[in-house]
A and B are shown apart, each in its own frame.
Chain A
Amino acid sequence: MRTTTWRLAPTWALTTVGLSALAALASLAVPRLVGQSLDRVTTGGDAGESLVRLAAVLVVVSLCSAGTGLSSGAYAARVTQRLRARAIASVTDREARRVTSAGDLATRLLVDAAQPAAALGIAISITLAAATLVIGLVSIALIEWWVLVGLLLGLVALVMVVRRFVADSTPSLEAYRAGQARIADRALDAQRGAASIQAHRTWLTEAERVLTPLDGVRAAGRSLWDLQGRMAWRSGVFVPAALLVTVAVGGVSLARGRISAGELAALIGYTTLVIGSLDGIEAAAGLASVRVGTRRLAHITTAIAAAPRRGASPSAPRGAVAVTLSGASAWTDGTDAEPTVTDPVDLTVGAGRVATLSGPAALTGAVARLASGAATPAAGRVLVDGIPLRSLAPDAHVAALAGARPALLGDTVAGLLTIGLAGIDREAVRSAAAAAHIDHVIEALPEGYDTPLADLALSGGELQRLGIAQALLHGSGLLVLEEATSSLDSATELEVVRAVAGTRGQRTVLIASGRPALVAIADDSIDVTSASRCLPPARVTVGSMESENDDGLILTGEPR
């Protein structure tokens, strides 16, 4: 990935390279031109021509530098934009498994994505520095080669120091970033616990707790400073020594008449150039950040590269759909640590039926996410009316899931309800809100359906009803409720679920809930029993009254 970053904005990359090279070449000519002018000036010759030449070169330097500033800035902005676009596409792709926490993902998108763009600048700095170094050294040798000998001795040592720094600082930098990400995660958690923090009046101790990783960040920061200090000191010894060698050796040559005063000035100028070019090599220290950023970004983009592509099925089923899980399992944990997979499940729910799922919450939740397409199966298949769910176009909106908490995005209440949908009229929004028994709450808001989300203060139960209305609008053929009524009182819960089930025939409804009472409304009740991970996979099929498999594991799916 590192080698191809520049291809994201090739024109700007080439312009930057070209102009920096030109600026560097022109800068290289400056000391010699100054030397010539000085000789003309001090010997009383006609300095006019050489001064004009010097002025012309200086103009070129200025113009090229200005151009470099423009193009390198444009390059960085474009590359970062494109890297972010790529990473955004990866993390929002539903085929991609979540590889890290939301806070960490955000850090990668915001911070790490900005790093690789710096690679070009660093590469140019290093290349130009190396070129300047060589040309500077050659020019020095042409004037007085003894000066060169002194300079070369120090150079080798310096390069070793810099290389050492890049290697040493990478772990500290990673520790530093990781510590920051931990603070971000904790802070995001704490924000979500705002009501508890308010109730317990613990915000000061919470702040302390959120900031616990700060000690680690501080330690990593101090060690980075220490490394930088050591590097600067070592290079600091070299720089003065180099200048001293030039002045001493050059001075002796001047006294012996081997070189002119102008040539001595040129020697000093080239030595300064050579030393300056070493600062360019110091830019290599930035490579450590680039490396860490590139790696952290690649980590989320490769997660998707490995995932199979979605095929687009030409047609989407209309109306209620039959949903089938065949050997389907879901990832249970979205972190790097050790992603595990739920037991495979087989089940079928007929089109237009209302079914409840019971069993361990982890498994019913997985089935709910798989059936609604919120999660892509780790293994097995999920079919609606015989068509693989993942092959449907993203905007088919056949199945939708209402969870314990709705997506609180969009600008207004109506925007939240129709998020990502086009051409939904207000009437459809109203009737979905009515079915979820939330219409009167919305209408009582200051601006009704156009109330900005920022002004919204709703209880958990009201939010859940909003989530159900949201899902009703998003799933034309299948509605999955996963703990979607957990914050409602039983009377309201029953009313809402009844109203949703009242659309029976229009859409299939799958309810994953810990409430046995909801079974009363359902056509089918499916026990998604699965023993622990070490037992053979659960096989559940609606229609079999009771079955005992070879391992003696009793699994039931009772039709009602």
Chain B
Amino acid sequence: MNAGFRLLRSTTPAPRRLVRVAAWSAVECLPALVSGVAVAHAVDALTSGRPSASTLWLAAIAAAMVVGAAATRRLYAAMSPLVEDLRDGLMTATVRGTLAECARTGRPGAATVTQTIEQVDQVRNLVSAVLRSFRSTVVPLASACIGLLLLDHRLGLAALVPLAAALALQSLLVPRTVRRQRHAALAQEAFGADTAAVLADLPPLRGLGADTWGRERLLSGADAVAVAELRVVRTTALRQAVIALGAHVPLLSVLLVSLPLLRDGSLSAGAVVGATTYVLTVLAPAVSSFVAVSGGWVVELVVLLDRLALVAGRPGPESGSARTPSQPTQGYAVELRDVAFAYRPESRPVLTGLDLRVRRGEHVAVLGASGTGKSTLARLFAGLEAPTSGTVHAAEGLCFVPQEAYVFAGTLRENLLHLDPNVAEARLREAVAVFGLDDLADRLCGLDGEIRSHDERLTAADRQRVVLARAWLSPAEVVVLDEATSLLPLSDDEAVEAAFTVDGRTLVTIAHRVDVARRAGTVVYFDGADVHTGRHAELLDAHDAYRDLHRHAALYAH
């Protein structure tokens, strides 16, 4: 709850705006404040034959009403930036929180982002409803109390005692409502997460003929949401008791109390009419609104902010990289000295005692079977993992391209310029030509053609081409490609490598296609737990396993 309010405060820029909303709400209620008193006086003046006094009282009401109506307009103008800023702030904080977690873990995390966005919108609606309710709750409650006491303190007390009891009862009911509402919110979230996950994985589910499973899963989620919501609904029945106590009992008690007072002449008929006017027209609606707002909207708001604070508060990656900040020796792009690495202290180390130096402008190929630590090596280069022991030095501005080809909804141009938005048009065109993206650009109707989320017009190979071109357009001097050409025709590999190395960049390719070794200056070969480094020819001579790998691949290619 505290975290929720901290989030609210950090995203609401100026508390002064809140004051402005409250002030206009109060002005807006001016007619409500004066109506009872003015009506009483106007009626008394008329019955006692003083029409001019009566007219003055009516004029007072009229003036108050005009001011009130004008204030309404100002109120909306004051609320609009407040609420929209709040929504922007919450949206930004939660989207950042979501991506911070992705950046920290390198994994997608729970697919609840649709839900989160919806919750932000609910907060927006709730906050504006609560703000708007000032004029129907707090202000009229206060003005009715003051008005009743001013009119006649005996009648005032008759109305206010049950009102106080009603407010006390409401404060007892709210915590229980908060609990049930929180439960409902959790059910909603679970359903939202399931919905996003199942819908995103619907194609593979259909491939397995397991779509019925997905359907059952979603249906049971929707059922759970309904059950939780019904529990919340049941608490609302109790609210009516508060309304009866705060709105209906005061009406009866005012009439009862006035009976003897009228008889002994210490109370005017106008005062009774005025008091009932206050109770009926100001107090009763205000109590209903207050109960609805505090037991409904405020509760939902507390629960939602609580949930959103969890998302917004997710930590990002540790600042900087896991790598030792020092630069490699002059003339080298990456240096590893006696590096060992294990994912967990107790697990088998992936790398031990590894020494490796990559010269600037060199093309290094990393080969070996799956699961031998090739990708770990790339992550060490990129500073995404810290070595368990030893040191890693790498040049600034190293661009690591992971296996998954990340193409996002947006134009093809945006996707290509993702790592450097300032690339010249000519170079962009060159990238399109070099990486064979002309065909894709045609299908998308140009570089500014929109790529949609899950766009089926893009093949997996298209995505790899986009990602390769993106890395090529980045300013990085050192590029590390992890299986980045796996879906391209074999014949494209050489052109891709040449494109990267031609202007003197350092290229490290992690590949399962062994052909790359012939073209690389240095080969790093992961042979089980051993790592051998050398030129292709040297390794062919020195290691039987390496020779077998190439012989096998040659057979396999035909």
Contact = CB atoms under 8 A, between A and B. Distances in A.
Which residue, B51, B217, B269, has most C-beta atoms of chain A within 10 A? B269
Interface residues of A, number: 166
Contact of A470 (B202, B208, B213): B208
Contacts of B461: 361, 514
Contacts of A188: 111, 113-114, 196, 200, 453
B167 interface: no
B219 interface: yes
A307 to B, nearest CB: 14
Contact of B108 (A47, A194, A206, A265): A194
A186 B552 contact: no
B68 A110 contact: no
Nearest to A212: B410
Interface string B137-153: 00000000000000000
Contact of B207 (A403, A462, A493): A403
A243 B61 contact: yes
Nearest to A257: B47
B133 interface: no
A195 B207 contact: no
Nearest to A89: B215
Nearest to B124: A221
Contacts of B549: 491
Given A251-B46, A261-B269, A517-B557, A107 B118 contact: yes
B251 interface: yes
Interface string B457-493: 1011100000100000000000000010011010000
Interface in A240-267: 240-241, 243-244, 247-248, 251-252, 254-255, 261-262, 264-265
A471 B208 CA distance: 6
Given A41-B262, A226-B80, A194 B196 contact: no
A88 B369 contact: no
A269 B281 contact: yes
Contact of B99 (A93, A105, A190, A229): A190
A268 B65 contact: no
A492 to B, nearest CB: 5
B419 A62 contact: no
Interface in B257-302: 258-259, 262-263, 269-270, 272-273, 276-277, 280-281, 285
Contacts of A142: none
Interface in B509-558: 512-514, 549, 552-553, 556-558
A100 to B, nearest CB: 9
Interface string A224-244: 011011101100110111011
Contact of A489 (B49, B321, B369): B369
Interface residues of B, number: 160
Interface string A470-482: 1100110000100
B495 interface: no
Interface stretch (A321-329, A393-401, A501-509, A543-551): A393-401
Contact of B410 (A81, A209, A269): A209
A265 B207 contact: no
Given A252-B46, A490-B556, A400 B95 contact: no
A486 B483 CA distance: 10
Interface in A438-464: 441, 457, 459-462
A198 B237 contact: no
B280 A58 contact: no
A531 interface: no
B552 to A, nearest CB: 7
A362 B277 CA distance: 75
Contacts of A365: 459
Contacts of A490: 512-514, 553, 556
B203 A403 contact: yes
B79 interface: yes
Given A375-B206, A402-B207, A187 B51 contact: no
B276 A265 contact: yes
B211 interface: yes
B460 A374 contact: no
B18 interface: no
Contacts of B75: 229
B328 interface: no
B80 A404 contact: no
Nearest to A51: B255
Given A188-B200, A190-B408, A199-B402, A401 B208 contact: yes
Interface string B396-440: 000111111010111000100011000000000000000000000
B201 A409 contact: yes
A63 B241 CA distance: 9
Contacts of A400: 207-209
Interface string A82-121: 0011001101111000100111011101110000000000
9 contacts: A91-B202, A184-B113, A200-B400, A200-B418, A201-B321, A204-B96, A232-B76, A264-B43, A269-B280
Given A58-B251, A240-B65, A419-B210, 4 more contacts: A193-B408, A225-B79, A262-B273, A407-B207
